[in-house]
Amino acid sequence: MHADHDADHDTDHAADRDTDHLRRAIAVAAAAREAGNHPFGAVLVDGSGAVVLEAQNTVTTDHDVTGHAETNLVRLASRTLVGTDLSAYTLVTSCEPCAMCAGAVYWSGIGRIVYGLSESALREITGAHPANPTLAHPCRLVLADGSRRVEVSGPLLEDEAAVVHDDFWTT
């Protein structure tokens, strides 16, 4: 019985850590918005639970349609963690990765994704906004076609993750 309690405690601790990291990714999304970009943010967490990198969406300021937070984070990790096995790392992001970003995570070797707002909930917020032409293809479907497994957890804290989008897509 003691071992089960320890396992439950470890699971609760991991869930609390995911929640804390997700709130950090949402704060990074708010910083992206303040910088004039779309409100998306991501953090990379190592196997011990420490945040090692952060990235914002930079589509507007970099004039780069591929400047999504997750793709920017994968690029940053590729440049700064050269030779690091990322299979024990988790990419935590304010919104579900689009198909492009899910592919980038897959190719990077990152082993896990945690996300806040689902792509379908984001679509409800943005509507058919031309700056967010949503692909209605969940990241789990993209990753399911790969030859290696990427664990996906989400959506989590959707109400909190949605706040940074308030009035953004209507202007």
The residues annotated with a catalytic role in the active site are 70
CB contact burial 37-51 (16+ within 10 A = b; e otherwise): bbbbbbbbbeeeeeb
Dihedrals phi, psi of 43, to nearest 5 degrees: -130, 150
Query: Using an 8 Å Cβ cutoff, are 118 and 96 in contact?
Result: yes
Q: Is the dihedral of CA 50, 74, 21, 17 positive or negative?
A: negative
Structure token digits, residue 125:
């917020």
Give the contacts of 167 (CB within 8 A, at least 6 positions apart).
none
Residues with Cβ within 8 Å of 114's Cβ and at least 6 positions away in sequence, in order, are 18, 21, 22, 90, 91, 92, 93, 152, 153, 154, 156
- Name beta bridge partners: 112: 90, 151
Q: Identify the three-state secondary structure at position 148.
A: coil
